[in-house]
Amino acid sequence: MQAAGEIVFDSQDYLVWEELQEQKHEFIKGEVFAMGGARREHVVVSLNIATILKQHLRGTPCQAYIADMKLRVEQEDAFYYPDVMVSCDNNDQKAEQYLSNPVLIVEVLSDSTEAYDRGAKFAAYRQLPSLKEYVLVDIDARRLECFRRAENNDWLLHITDGKEECDFLSLGLSVAMDDVFEDVG
């Protein structure tokens, strides 16, 4: 991610401006950051996870979303584009521009965003009262790091690698690692 010049907006101006852009931009406390393109493996893994979630959620009040849906973190005055997220919130199901109440967020790591996804972005996501799980996917290590909200707002880490299944407890779903990394060289 890189700053998009000297552009500074309030959140409403950003939403209007972003609708007219060809490239996606995240918004953090008045600053706008251009989103870079993703490598093939990143897109494949994101799609694999979103497809698994969509199938699992069929017939429930929950819905999976992929990279083009914005996430509003009002407490941080920010909008992000998570790789995959799930919301079970009725207001989110009616939203046109952004979601506010996801239960699950998945970010596929890349060299350029890994530190940010683990640090400042996760700190912002933790401000969402609805969020129960935050999953980081490390393609090169073939590993999923699942952070789960526990009592007292603590976050517990569960790492899944190898041939194990990854449990998305917030959705009552176990996912085979082979399915997450299907079609990845």
Give the pLDDT confidence of 136-176 residue by residue, as tens digits: 999 999 999 999 999 999 999 999 988 789 999 999 999 99
Structure confidence by residue, pLDDT tens digits, 53-90: 999 999 999 999 998 999 999 999 999 999 999 999 99
* Confidence band, pLDDT 50/70/90 cuts, at residue 112: confident
pTM > 0.85: yes
CATH of 38-180, one of 3.40.50.1000, 3.90.1570.10, 1.10.1040.50, 3.30.2230.10: 3.90.1570.10
Between CA 120 and CA 87 the distance in angstroms is: 22
- The full set of domain ranges for the chain reads 1-36, 38-180
Question: Residue 2 in 3-state DSSP?
Answer: strand
Structure tokens that stand for 64 in this block: 């999976």
* 56-63: long-range pairs with CB below 8 Å, 24+: 56/171, 56/173, 57/86, 57/171, 60/88, 61/88, 61/90, 61/93, 62/86, 62/87, 62/88, 62/103, 62/171, 63/87, 63/88, 63/92, 63/93
